[in-house]
Amino acid sequence: MLEKRNLNIYSHAGRLKLDTRKGVVSNQSGTRLVAVSEDFLRGFVAAIENEVGPATKMLLRKCGFVFGERLARRFESEVSSYAGTSLTERPISEFGGLLLDLWVTYGYGDLQVDWKHGPSGFLPVRIVGSPMQDIGPKGHVSDDLFAGVLQGFFSHFIEPNIRVIQSGDVRLGSKDGTTFIITTDQHAKRVEQMVSDRTPHNQIVTRLQGGVGS
C-alpha cells in the first residue's frame, strides 16, 4: 500500500530535476515540464478567438479534453511506476490525495472532488484558483478549458461517455465558487436544465443525491 506520507509525490522537492546544460526541467519520471505565464494564456485565448470567433469556447474545451486524457495516462503511469502497483488498485482516498497533489503542484488550482456522491452517479467538483479563472473569450464567462481537462481526465478512469457541466463560476458571484458536475451522458440533460434555470451548485447536488435519474 502506498503510505499516506507518500501521497505528496508531485510536490516533494526531490521530484523535480533541472538540467542546466539543456535548460530543461523534468519530474522524476522524465516528463518534461514547461511553465506558462498568465500573459501567455491570455494571448493563447486571444489568438484562438481571432481565428475562430464564436467557436472559441468549443475549441478551448476540445483542447482541454485532449490534454486531460494525456494527463490522466501520464498520471496513472507515473504513480503506478512509483508505487510498484497499479493506480487503479488504490483506495479512492489515496487516489484523491494523489490527484490533489498533482493538480496543485502543476498550478491547475485547488481541486476539490466530493467522492461520496459517486455511487449516486455523479461527482461534484470545485476548482479554487484555476489559472483560467479570469481568462476567456470576450463576453463569455465560463472555464471551458478546464471543463474539457476534467472531462478528458475523468473519462480515462470512469467511462468514455461521462459529461462535465459547469454549475457555477466565481466571476458571476457564485457562493460555491467555480464548480462542475461530472455525470454520465445519459443524465447530463437534467443537470444542464438545472444550470439553465440558475439553480445554485449546492442545490443541484442536493437534488441529485436521491439518484441522478430521480
Residues in Cβ contact with 116 at an 8 Å cutoff, skipping those fewer than 6 apart: none
- Kindly state whether residue 23 falls inside one of the protein's structural domains: no
**Mean pLDDT computed over every residue of the chain:** 86
Domain range for 168 is 30-208
**Tell me: the pLDDT tens digits for 50-63?**
999 989 999 999 99
Residues in Cβ contact with 194 at an 8 Å cutoff, skipping those fewer than 6 apart: 167, 203, 204, 207
CB 101 within 8 A of CB 11: yes
pLDDT-above-90 percentage for the chain: 47
CB 65 within 8 A of CB 151: yes
- Kindly state whether residue 15 falls inside one of the protein's structural domains: no
Average pLDDT of 167-190?
88
CB 157 within 8 A of CB 88: yes
Residue 180 CA to residue 66 CA, distance in Å, equals 18
- Kindly state whether residue 8 falls inside one of the protein's structural domains: no
- Kindly state whether residue 197 falls inside one of the protein's structural domains: yes
Number of compact structural domains in the chain: 1
Residues in Cβ contact with 105 at an 8 Å cutoff, skipping those fewer than 6 apart: 10, 11
pLDDT-above-70 percentage for the chain: 92
pLDDT surpasses 70 at 147: yes
Residue 213: per-residue pLDDT: 47
Query: Cell match 500573459: residue?
Result: 39
Q: CA dist 175 to 50, 55, 77, 132, 178, Å?
A: 33, 29, 37, 18, 9
- Kindly state whether residue 147 falls inside one of the protein's structural domains: yes
Residues in Cβ contact with 35 at an 8 Å cutoff, skipping those fewer than 6 apart: 25, 107
Residue with the larger pLDDT of the pair 25 and 67: 67
- Kindly state whether residue 16 falls inside one of the protein's structural domains: no
Residue 109 CA to residue 121 CA, distance in Å, equals 25
With b for 16 or more beta-carbon neighbours within 10 A and e for fewer, the 111-149 pattern comes to bebeeebeebebbbbbbeebbbbebbbeeeebbbbbbbb
- Identify the band that residue 2 occupies on the pLDDT scale cut at 50, 70 and 90: very low
Residue 214 CA to residue 207 CA, distance in Å, equals 9
pLDDT surpasses 60 at 214: no
Q: Nearest-CA neighbor of 94 among 161, 9, 27, 160? A: 9
CB 182 within 8 A of CB 154: yes
CATH code for position 84: 3.30.1380.20
Q: Nearest-CA neighbor of 144 among 136, 152, 154? A: 136
Query: Cell match 522524476: residue?
Result: 28
- Identify the band that residue 4 occupies on the pLDDT scale cut at 50, 70 and 90: very low
Residue with the larger pLDDT of the pair 88 and 195: 195
Residue with the larger pLDDT of the pair 195 and 3: 195
Residue 191: per-residue pLDDT: 95
- Kindly state whether residue 60 falls inside one of the protein's structural domains: yes
